[in-house]
Structure 1
Amino acid sequence: MALQNELSTQSLLKLCSFIFWGWTYIWCTEKTPDHSPEWHSRVVTLLHGSVATVAGLWQCSVTNIDRCRLNAKITPANYALMLWSWGYFAFDLIWCIIYWSNSYVILWHHVSALIAVGIYMNKTYSGCTFACTLALMEITNPFLQTRWLLRDSGYGQTKLYFLVELTYLIMFLSLRGPLCTYLVYKILPSDILDMDEKIISLALYAVSIVFIYEILGYVIYKYKNKIKEFKGFANEITVALVEN
């Protein structure tokens, strides 16, 4: 009976979180009816990503991570952050199925994120690990959404847009590439993380690799002329150094 009550309470809290995000989206569409469904979804995503990043970094205490903290008991703040993200990922998964079903990577990302959050919600420990993982996954999201909103508003050729895009690309490629690779390398043989947490890490890492592949294709396509100019400049410097 106690387990059933716990499951019922958790299910109710998840439902409330989902309703909150659905209501936020509807409120946004009513206040700005001239914009597209994707614009409204991006604004909602920006809200989630910004709060998740700040709260995740705060709960993670990046400068004070140790073995005990990573395996510490889940706090009410950790659980609130899990609810915040579970409802969002559930909402956005449904939104993507309705409006953006051709992006299978995004769908897999949301499904894996939902499963991951659900697993952590049923644990009694690893709250700090969840917060650190969420912060790492979401820290570049505000830049991604701001970049899209700037472009949609006609600022795609401005210096501000270029700065936001460059910041996003550098952060995403460095955090999801070398850093995530190193973390997965350390996580897999770890004796303080359960097998389900290791599987979660591998699933999210696989999604990151696909995203990196797509982003590198975008970088090469958009900045190929600048890349050629840079290579030419580097070759000139190399020749000059050799001659001297």
Structure 2
Amino acid sequence: MESIIDFGAIGSYALQLIPYIPVTLALAVLATAFGIIVGLVFALIKMARTPVLSQIAAVIVSYLRGTPILVQLLLNINAMPIFVIWSNQTFGTNWDALALSPFIVATFTFALNEAAYASETIRASLLSVDRREIEAAQSLGMTPWQTLTRITIPNATVVAFPTLVNHFIGMLKQSSLAFVVSVIEITAFAKILGGRDYRYFEAYLATAIVYWAMTVIVEQITRRMEARLSLPTTGPRKRKGQVAAAPEPTPVGSAAVASRVDSERGPA
């Protein structure tokens, strides 16, 4: 009697899905990276309250957060050929409207969607930076760009890191929707495997196991990175029976910035 569930097929399917892990990782990494960059731009525009740009950014963020990512994918994959045809007619170019890679469209869509959600996380992290350090940097003659790149963003990164990691894990799973625009990644190939012998349950269970394993690995790696980022500076070890010396106070304000500037300059 044939078994209802073929457990051997689950392991076989999982092994066959491994070559498509790089496609899923590439989608998640590129989309998250570009999304964080665009999200940083959105956050800075909102914080600066630029009259026109802030309204445009607010509308874009509202649209991206208010529509399903699946609808955005289907809309963008059909909008790109229309845009190319319009560009050919307007500017006299000769681009192929059907030559655009679905991978690029999926990455672009995921990146914009990530930017809409990451912008608020980044903005909150930027606002959490101690104002005294920013004022100290300005008093030392740093330009606004130097203050942003050397003081504000490094400090905000430590605050935003755990949440951005969660965004990346969500993007890792969200990338499974890319199969609707013909990107052959893990989920798309699982559908192909299930269709060969109609073992869809085993194929999708293998897919779930692969995604689960990837998520666990990412969590373990980022947990170590987070521990290193938040590792406090400690003094010399206390011997048994010896009273520990009071830790040196952490420099704040102009002292912290001055020490950071000196360390960047290096020895005279």
**TM-score higher than 0.5 here?**
no
Could you tell me the TM-score, scaled by structure 2's length? Answer: 0.30
- Find the structure with the greater CA-based Rg: 2
The structure with the largest helix share of the pair is 1
Higher relative CO (Cα under 8 Å, sequence separation at least 6) belongs to 2
